[in-house]
Chain A
Amino acid sequence: MKILTGNDLVSGDVIWWAGDGWSRQVGDSADVGERGDDLARTEEAALRVVGAYVIDATVSDDGVRPAHIKDRIRALGPTVRPDLTLKPNDADAGNWVI
């Protein structure tokens, strides 16, 4: 699937397009098909996102998994600071990015 990501313009938070708005959770990502670039332009113009780009991802029972390690690290947070990731209580969360 194709998903759309970027950063919140004001806070800088990593965000994912969820179909009707943006989410902090990669698992909420919607398949944007071929509409990603158009959506990125519209949402950037509306000042809701900055640096938006489309990536490949797979979906399984475990949720949405970006194809590249860089976007998996964006989705989780810094692997060397588990306390600052989106899964601070999951000691093994870092393994997901590899």
Chain B
Amino acid sequence: MVEFLSFRNGEATQEPAVTVEAFTGQTNSTAVRIEAGEDARELLPHLDRLSLVEVNFPAYGDGRGYSAARILRESGYQGELRAVGDVLVDQIVALRRCGFDSFHPAKPLDDAAVDRALNRYADVYQKAIDGRIPVWAKRHPETTNG
């Protein structure tokens, strides 16, 4: 069982994440935690000084964190993006696709199950954040829209 899972090269950020309110009100913090109802776009002016964004999932069915992650990545955020809270093995693939590269679930995950999940689907239908080539681009390698 794993308590912390990272797909980043190098060390995970150790700095404790502060709330969005605390983060935007001060200048020295480099780690922030987004709660489910908070607006990830508030962080966009500060991306260059961020090394960790934690996105909390209060329940696995609360999917707002997927949008928060994509918004940050689409805006060029390169630092660690960590899913925390009610993160289950069945959501790992979608979370990875939305740009999460580390996981600190409330309950540890089974490594073998994570491996199975990550390798289950050879192909994907959408362009997302993870760089996987969608089926439509594979079908038309001559086009540049991939």
Chain A in direct contact with chain B (Cβ < 8 angstroms): no
Q: List B residues at the A interface (Cβ < 8 Å).
A: none
